[in-house]
Homo-oligomer: A and B are copies of this chain.
């Protein structure tokens, strides 16, 4: 399968991140596709992902604070709003259906691999600028899009999860975010952005964040 079209920066970053395949074809992902992933590992993942979403929303809020144009400010703000008022309540609901109540969810102890990724993203954003933040956020947003697109129609016990990321809403979001990133690069660095050292630095952020996404899949309960 070819890569989905989420813009030019994504295509370049994806091709240059050594662990992109390890991330998007991780055993955890294959387990979601085939249905062989244990329920325990999935629930462990869901709980960690809930904590992840809080910090991810904070990272998008930071992007809004660091926006250089009104369009960037609006896009980042809308993403925070969607994460906080749509994604997170949905997550609470899915967990509740799986028998994890809100209190248990809130009490989740953040795993090191989870901490590593979200703090890396936030710190890249705080120490760098809007572009650094986007490059570090992109593997999550767009990687889940690519995984969703590839797993579409797999069915099985994880069909709901797959459909969320394979669905038209999430795919449109990926195209929008990809376009915003390309626009942000053009706006700041001009048409030759792909050839500047600045872009290499962003590629490093993308690669490191991809490495940390592999670690995220790796997490699992002791007994899984």
Q: Which residues of A line the B interface, CB within 8 A?
A: 54, 57-59, 61-62, 64-68, 70, 73-74, 76-78, 80-81, 84-85, 88, 110, 112-113, 115-116, 119-120, 122-123, 126-129, 132, 187-190, 192, 195-198, 201, 208, 211-212, 215
Given contacts A62-B62, A115-B212, A212-B112, contact A77 B84 (CB under 8 A): yes
In this complex, which of A68, A115, A192 has the most chain B Cβ atoms within 10 angstroms of its Cβ?
A115
Contact pick for A112, options B66, B128, B192, B211, CB 8 Å: B211
Contact A81 B73 (CB under 8 A): no
Given contacts A120-B119, A132-B129, contact A64 B58 (CB under 8 A): yes
Distance in angstroms from A62 CB to nearest chain B CB is 4
> With a CB–CB cut-off of 8 A, which chain B residues contact A57?
64, 73, 77
Copies in the complex: 4
A50 to B110, CA, bound (A): 27
Distance in angstroms from A209 CB to nearest chain B CB is 10
17 A–B contacts from the bound complex (CB under 8 Å): A58-B65, A58-B67, A59-B65, A64-B80, A65-B122, A65-B127, A74-B84, A77-B81, A80-B81, A110-B208, A115-B212, A119-B119, A123-B123, A126-B126, A127-B129, A190-B195, A190-B196
Contact A64 B67 (CB under 8 A): no
Distance in angstroms from A210 CB to nearest chain B CB is 12
A85 to B215, CA, bound (A): 34
> With a CB–CB cut-off of 8 A, which chain B residues contact A188?
196-198, 201
Interface of A is mostly: helix
Known: A65-B127, A127-B129. 11 other contacts (CB 8 A): A54-B70, A61-B77, A66-B127, A66-B128, A73-B84, A112-B113, A112-B215, A115-B212, A116-B116, A122-B126, A190-B198
> With a CB–CB cut-off of 8 A, which chain B residues contact A120?
115-116, 119
Contact pick for A201, options B59, B64, B67, B68, CB 8 Å: B68
Contact A61 B76 (CB under 8 A): yes
